[in-house]
Structure 1
Amino acid sequence: MMPAPACPPPRRTMMTSATATSRSTPTAAARLDSLTGLRWIAALMIFCLHIQSESNFFIADSRAQDALNSLLAAGRSGVSFFFILSGFVLAWSVRPTDTASRFWWRRFSKIYPNHFATFLVACLLLSWRGMEVIDFERMFYNLTLLHSWPPGQSDVWYSFNGPSWSLSCEAFFYLCFPLLYAGLRRLRPAAWWVISVASVLFIAVLPFGIKLFHEPFGWSEHFIVYHLPPVRMVEFLLGMCLALLVRGGWWRGPGMTVSIVVILAGMAAAAFLPEEYGLARDAACTVLGYSLLLPACALADVRRSRSIWRARRLVYLGEVSFAFYMVHEICLYAVRHTFGDDHPHRPSVAAGVLVLATFCFALVAAMVLHHVVELPMMRLLTGGRRRPVAGGVPPAGSGAVLVGPGGERAAAAAPEPVAAGRT
């Protein structure tokens, strides 16, 4: 009798510890459409922020401009929401047999085509405006997604397509994710709670305590609290811990209504804080509400309970929101250059028409980018696979969620079921 062939050694995977500690396998798909809808709301907040801070459409009406400053400044927290959401969905949708290299390639395939396409469009826009385009240092930092790292170089941070600075942070998060996830899965749920609470406290006090430790480095407070990827990774880590708590059935928290009230209260509080606290003040005031809302929405989707964020059109807008995020500032500058944004006698109605035109222009451009570049390039770079996986392109009706500036998609089935009896 021929001896039985020796069993091959087990394959080392990125998520070995996740497999070892998983209590069971899922039996039903967990659609997170509410998070997709919320993603559109966050992208719209950032659009409104840039209308308020980077255009002078309402320069002839000081009262209208003051109202915009009060109502729309809270959009700064939209990036913080994206970072938390990014960590949440990636931790929720881990493939137990995945490898780090495959994970990184899917992330590259998702974010880089849109980044490169908008980089080229931005170069054309700068050339059209008669501005310098060829700058090899800025090009290097931008195209390698390192442009949020250089201290004190705002011309590098916001080079070419300004919103792409956040992709530099996301790239760092993706690089660290396999190690972070493996480490978190070795901890007990109590440790996830401790990390979550500590992260919320860190984000909440950072803009107020930054003066205590920024001087030894000689870096600006703005760089440390808003652009430095290791600091922003606290938000990503918070999202990962929240996902593990919800996915394992350990989450205790209020529902969506209470969470939204907490967010609105935080936004109102941020509006009264002095400007000296900088761009991170809004994240500091809203992080608690966002940390409550994401688990509440995920549980609503798992249990199929009522959620206003699952409306079909809102979900579609959420799917194109990464493209919208990447094109909206380019469209804003194109409208500004074409019609001017500092006309001293422009009526408020005409200014409102320009805002609406900018929004429609950005939305149409986002749809084109999403369907012509983003989805086809993902299929090409990932070999045309159509399984509903994290970072992949799900088939119609598979119900994946798209989140974060980097546009992550949650798997249709969570690696572990949510234990409804413990939530």
Structure 2
Amino acid sequence: MRGYTAAPIRGDTTLPALTGLRFLAALAVLISHFNHRGLISVPAGVIEFLDGGRTAVALFFVLSGFILAYNYPGLSGSAERTRFYASRIARIYPVTLLALGLGAIGVSYAATHPDSGRLLDWYSLEEASPFALGTSFLAQATMTTAWFPVAAVTQPWNGSAWSIGCEVLFYALFPLLIVKLRKLRFKHIAYILIGAWIFQMLAIRAAISFAPAEQVGLLVYQFPVLHLFEFLVGIAAAIVFLRGGREWLSRGSRRRLVLAAALVPLTLLSLFQPVAPAYVLMGPLFAVLILGLAVNPAGRRSFLARRPMILLGEASFALYMIHAPLMMIFMIADPPEGAGWLLMAGTVGLSIAVFRWFETPARHWTRAAVLRMVPSGWGRDRPAVNLLVPGKPSGPVNTVED
């Protein structure tokens, strides 16, 4: 198959199972964090299998690359890029600000009750330093906490927001990456992926060997550059999917075989964890898993593609962003023992409310506001040719939630 050819997409252009998959990834993070804070009790083996939710975040990054490349396979030109960036800002910033506001409740309580030990336990701060809290607030508001591998910066307000710093890097690079990668043959894309994978492993080894002990974990698990490979392998998987992978996977038992080829080694890696961090070996397998799930099984809906799972998946971003600040609020309230599971279920329910009545309208308003700030006449491009799917225009051609 030549690198620049593609089979046309046929049938449904939505990928509902991938939306449901997002909820399972968010749930893994939720269980790990609620257990860590003592709100629920989960066997240690389960938390080890989930790697504390860290591998679930790596899955999010692979999904991000896949879905963006699937939705924007022909992105080019200033007008297309402007609309893309406006959509990206609208996608993440309103909920980021909402979570930051919720995080202020926990920070305010910890700062005004120094004898409680919450500042150190929750935010890695010895005292309520205005400089540390102000720096952390600015990093959260600018979505850059992941670039500061210092716990006193990453943990206050909303510790889970570090992943947004990674996404911002991915969004910034995506227009360049998709324009370059979509023109390449498969073997050349493979060379790039191998190089990025080797770089990731060498950089992790360098961080473990030379970084200060208190920064190693933050660098290895949160530094944006060290997660770029996962985003790239997601883009590559989407290119494969759009160049005929969907049709190939739809024949016979290929879809089930591909899913087994991903799930079996992923399960073994989660059980035995032969390397640390575990996500280093999982990125390519997550891409294979996504390829298998992206094909709808003939004649039926998979569990992940059912309506309740789709709704939960749509609310998964809100769930991921608000759960950490809400945990601090729950702990301030000192809930009775055994109430943690109800609180976790309530957090899931609240995320659905946030998605429906805050995130969705705020996204539309923010995108329109950003586009209004763009000078009129900016980048009036002619429609670009979609090199992945001939005959289709560039821009977001599919309807997957991204």
TM-score normalized with structure 1 length: 0.72
Q: Equivalent of 2:70, from 66, 81, 92?
A: 92
The SS at the match of 1:248 is helix
Compared CA separation, residues 56 and 368, structure 1 to 2 (3 A) = closer
Matched, 1:175 2:169: no
Q: Equivalent of 2:294, from 294, 298, 301?
A: 298
Would you say the 8 A contact 1:262–1:288 is kept in 2?
Answer: no
User: Which residue number in structure 1 is paired with residue 236 of structure 2?
Assistant: 241
C-alpha deviation, 1:373, in angstroms: 1.4
The SS at the match of 1:300 is coil
**Alignment partners' CA distance in 2, 1:354 and 1:372:** 27
**Alignment partners' CA distance in 1, 2:35 and 2:327:** 11
**Alignment partners' CA distance in 1, 2:400 and 2:50:** 36
User: Which residue number in structure 1 is paired with residue 259 of structure 2?
Assistant: 256
**Alignment partners' CA distance in 2, 1:72 and 1:95:** 32
**Alignment partners' CA distance in 2, 1:264 and 1:410:** 34
C-alpha deviation, 1:47, in angstroms: 0.7
Would you say the 8 A contact 2:102–2:326 is kept in 1?
Answer: no
**Alignment partners' CA distance in 2, 1:110 and 1:34:** 20
Amino acid at match of 1:232: H
Matched, 1:380 2:365: yes
Question: Runs of 5+ in structure 1 lacking a partner?
Answer: 1-19, 59-63, 341-349, 385-408, 415-423
**Alignment partners' CA distance in 2, 1:268 and 1:255:** 20
Would you say the 8 A contact 1:34–1:310 is kept in 2?
Answer: yes
User: Which residue number in structure 2 is paired with residue 82 of structure 1?
Assistant: 60
C-alpha deviation, 1:86, in angstroms: 0.3
**Alignment partners' CA distance in 2, 1:334 and 1:30:** 41
**Alignment partners' CA distance in 2, 1:133 and 1:212:** 29
Compared CA separation, residues 221 and 97, structure 1 to 2 (3 A) = closer
Would you say the 8 A contact 2:107–2:156 is kept in 1?
Answer: no
**Alignment partners' CA distance in 2, 1:72 and 1:164:** 19
Would you say the 8 A contact 2:96–2:321 is kept in 1?
Answer: yes
Q: Please give the residue correspondences for 1:30-109 in structure 2 after superposition, counting only pairs within 5 Å.
A: 30-55=13-38, 58=41, 66-67=44-45, 69-73=47-51, 75-94=53-72, 96=74, 99-109=80-90
List per-residue Cα deviations over 1:336-389 (Å, max 9, x = no partner): 22226xxxxxxxxx74x32212212211221221122110111222349xxxxx
Would you say the 8 A contact 2:49–2:271 is kept in 1?
Answer: no
List per-residue Cα deviations over 1:213-259 (Å, max 9, x = no partner): 645x9994323322221221111111111111121125888422332
79-88 or 67-76, which moves further after superposition? 67-76
User: Which residue number in structure 1 is paired with residue 351 of structure 2?
Assistant: 366
**Alignment partners' CA distance in 1, 2:292 and 2:181:** 22
C-alpha deviation, 1:54, in angstroms: 3.0
Matched, 1:319 2:314: yes
Q: Please give the residue correspondences for 1:120-269 in structure 2 after superposition, counting only pairs within 5 Å.
A: 120-131=101-112, 132=128, 135-151=133-149, 153-199=150-196, 207=204, 209-210=205-206, 214=210, 220-249=215-244, 254-269=257-272
List per-residue Cα deviations over 1:130-164 (Å, max 9, x = no partner): 4549533222211111111124x112122311111
Compared CA separation, residues 197 and 35, structure 1 to 2 (3 A) = farther
Would you say the 8 A contact 2:58–2:279 is kept in 1?
Answer: yes
Amino acid at match of 1:357: L
Identity %: 23
C-alpha deviation, 1:210, in angstroms: 3.7
C-alpha deviation, 1:183, in angstroms: 1.2
Compared CA separation, residues 128 and 219, structure 1 to 2 (3 A) = closer
Amino acid at match of 1:125: G
